[in-house]
Amino acid sequence: MEEVLSQAEIDELLKSLTSGGPPQPPASETTKERVRPYDFKRALRLSKEQLRSLNRLNEHFARLLSTAFSAALRTYVHVSLAAADQVPFEEYVLSAPKFTVVGVFTASPLKGRFLVEFSPTMAFGMLDRYLGGPGIAEVKESGLTEIETRILEMLFQRTGESFREAWQSLADLDVQHEAIETNPQFLQIASPNDIVVVFSFQVKIGETTTVMNVVLPHFMLEPLMPKLSARHMLEGFQEGDDPRPSEELKARLAWTWVPIRVILGQTALRFADVLRLEVGDVIRLGTRIDEPLVVKLGDRDAFVGRPGISRGRVAVRIEGILPREE
């Protein structure tokens, strides 16, 4: 049976034809669709432009820290900015592991303190690498020994130095490391509802990938707000504005370890003579006793010198510099 339209439905269709469109929902329904829930505890304090400016600073910080950690641990370390978020301080504390390694810093003339968190895997991996291991260590929650604390203090100090250099285009900060905390519940740098900016970094040490966080309270950044504009940041990063890139590079290279070898001499033996070698046999080298020895810097012949003894150890005195081959 065919459906028969009522008079009200016919009137509605005629009304839509004269108005040039389909029937519109009531105003109350449209208003409901536009209403969205808003959590005032998560109110974002930094604009997108300001957050982008901070991201640029922290990308520079990550590059400097990669060099500093590589020199300290004598292995390849790559640090890169992974994410940035603005959350209440209480939310950050609750999301942190029960046991972690956090460095507390000041950055005068800014008020307050900020945090640098090494994840447990990162902290114990760096300790293992610094003490001669491969950089992979089992995380222990029994606390840090005095030696481990001293090593981590040194690594946090280098982190603070890299942070100061990276932020130098924005402000001249005196960054100082204050303390190490392993329980995030004891951290008191802001009120629970205060907004903090959390920058997460991916840290690759050899074949191990870990995480590092930098936590900056919003009230600490307030004096820098006027400078967090695209125009100011672009002026600060103009190529050639900083006359000290070579000095910074030299300072970073100063921490790099370079292998040095001294070649006493060389000779060649027949394989049959090698098989007959015994304890007490003497192998005569091709170097005369009055000839200087070649000192190698890496794989390159760099110096010539004379052998001797210094403080009870075999030593060599540099007597000349060899020209570098083109």
Domains observed in the chain: 48-253 (3.40.1550.10), 260-321 (2.30.330.10)
| pLDDT digit string, tens, across residues 83-105 | 999 999 999 999 998 899 999 99
Alpha-carbon distance of 208 to 186, in angstroms, equals 29
The arithmetic mean of pLDDT across residues 35-47, rounded, is: 64
> pTM value?
0.61
CB-based burial, 35-66: b 16+ in 10 Å, e otherwise: eeeeeeeeeebbeeebbebbebbbebbbbbbb
The arithmetic mean of pLDDT across residues 308-324, rounded, is: 87
The answer to whether 152 and 144 are in contact (CB under 8 A) is yes
pLDDT exceeds cutoff 50 at 240: no
pLDDT band for position 326 (cuts 50, 70, 90)? low
| pLDDT digit string, tens, across residues 249-297 | 666 666 677 788 888 888 899 998 889 999 999 998 888 888 888 898 8
| pLDDT digit string, tens, across residues 51-84 | 888 999 999 999 999 999 988 888 888 999 999 9
Alpha-carbon distance of 139 to 75, in angstroms, equals 20
The arithmetic mean of pLDDT across residues 141-147, rounded, is: 85
Residue 243's pLDDT is 47
Helix (H) or strand (E) holding 78: strand 77-88
pLDDT exceeds cutoff 70 at 45: yes
Q: Tell me the β-bridge partners of 77.
A: 205
The mean pLDDT of the chain is: 83
Percent of the chain exceeding pLDDT 70 equals 80
pLDDT exceeds cutoff 60 at 1: no
